[in-house]
Amino acid sequence: MIELLALLFGLATLAATAWCPPRLTRVLGSLLFALMVGVVSRFAFGVHVALLAAALAAVLALRFFPPLVLRRVVFLVPALVLLIFSTTLLMYRAPGNPFANERATSPQVEAALRAQYGVPKNASAFFGIYMRRLLVEGTLGPSIKVQGRTVEELIAPAFPVSVALGLLALILSVVIGLTLGIFAGLKKNSLADHVSMALALFGVSLPSFVLGAGAMIVFSLWLGWLPVAGWGSLRHLVMPAFALALPNAAIIARLARSGMIEVMQQDFVRTARAKGLPESWVIARHAMRGTLIPVVSFLGPAAAAIMTGSFVVEVLFAVPGMGQWFVKGAINRDYSVVLGTAIVYFGMIILFNLLVDLAYSWLDPRVRSSDA
């Protein structure tokens, strides 16, 4: 009952951030941003550097961040805490526990193991222990199934792999989507437009693991051009990156097409043409910024989908990224590993959303002066 009330309180807190006054949003958002920077810096550089980085982050956020970004911070930080709490509840509600195996464990041995790894039988108690580890001790905790290793030691070599794969997939999705969408928007109702949108519909309809399996059959088993799976060279990156990129590239193509068609009908574009400017200059200098606004708005969810969906593709292509630890942690009921990978994934989502909000405020000056 207490856990349900805590969950409802967390949801109510998230809903209340939408009505946070502008002045309170600026102060609270700056403090929460400083808290995020401090926690991340604590993991990498220690306490003293973390305190300095947090103070600097608070000043910069208070002085330079637009209201839209600060409001997003006010929402996302409580959302991260709620994610940790709800993930803890789900892990404890799932059948089994980290200390159950094919051989029966005596209650005394299980109690000793729970005390050693800080895993009580109550989900709320584990949440409190984990938050203390995260905020006070600056650690993600020990792995229960991988003896003598912390979660940081498991994730550290896998994190750059997942980031490299995710960033390459994000870049490919933007390049492919913008190219198809802008070309289709400039050639409205032509054959090129219909072909581009047909390709986009194909990409939207198929999930990444289906595209990955199909690419594996064609380019590895039939043609032999690329390795089936593994990691170690640029050739290993091609298929998983394209499998992650194509579904989002299709959506970006459709957004870019509609944005280009709408912008090319605006008065400022007609004025630029009336001045005798070359068509290429009109498109690049005047139409492109308006075309990018709906695309940039989608990049936050797109980055989230690529990063959180990458573990399926990583397992499919045997990529040694964080996906393997997320899957192994879920199967083995390794609570600290599951929470650690979830926090890292959500942290990347927060980062990409903040970058998107900053880019949006640069593309649309009205956002910089808005209080919402």
Q: CA geometry: angle at 290 spanning 252 and 251, to 5°?
A: 10
The amino acid occupying position 304 is A
The residue ranking higher by pLDDT, 55 or 284, is 55
**180, pLDDT greater than 70:** yes
| Weakest mean pLDDT among 145-159, 308-322, 350-364 | 350-364
Per DSSP, the chain holds a count of helices (H) and strands (E) of: 16, 0
pLDDT in tens, 9-21: 888 887 888 788 8
**134, pLDDT greater than 70:** yes
pLDDT in tens, 256-280: 888 777 777 777 767 777 777 676 7
Mean pLDDT over 105-131 rounds to 79
Domain boundaries along the sequence of the chain: 2-137, 159-320
Side-chain-side CA neighbours of 42 within 13 Å: the count stands at 17
**37, pLDDT greater than 80:** yes
| Paired tokens of 121 | 């039988």
pLDDT in tens, 52-75: 988 898 888 888 887 877 888 888
Architecture of domain 159-320: Orthogonal Bundle (1.10)
Three-state SS at 150: strand
Cβ atoms < 10 Å from Cβ of 266 = 13
What is the rounded CA–CA span in Å between residue 343 and residue 326?
A: 11
The pLDDT value given to residue 371? 47
DSSP symbols for 274-303 = HTT--HHHIIIIIIHHHHHHHHHHHHHHHH
pLDDT in tens, 189-221: 777 777 777 777 777 777 777 888 888 888 888
User: Measuring CA to CA, which residue among 1, 81, 65 is closest to residue 33?
Assistant: 65
Q: 95 φ, ψ to 5°?
A: -60, 145
**372, pLDDT greater than 50:** no
The pLDDT value given to residue 360? 66
pLDDT in tens, 350-368: 777 777 777 766 666 555 5
Mean pLDDT over 163-177 rounds to 86
How far is the first Cα of the chain from the last one, in angstroms, to the nearest whole number? Answer: 36
**286, pLDDT greater than 70:** no
**Arithmetic mean of pLDDT over the chain:** 79
Side-chain-side CA neighbours of 40 within 13 Å: the count stands at 16
CA dihedral 198, 172, 206, 87 (to 10 degrees): -140
Mean pLDDT over 287-302 rounds to 73
Q: Kindly state the DSSP code that residue 60 receives in the 8-state scheme.
A: H
**246, pLDDT greater than 80:** yes
Q: What is the pTM of this model?
A: 0.74
| Paired tokens of 254 | 């459709």
Q: Are 293 and 259 in contact (CB under 8 A)?
A: yes
pLDDT in tens, 82-91: 888 888 888 8
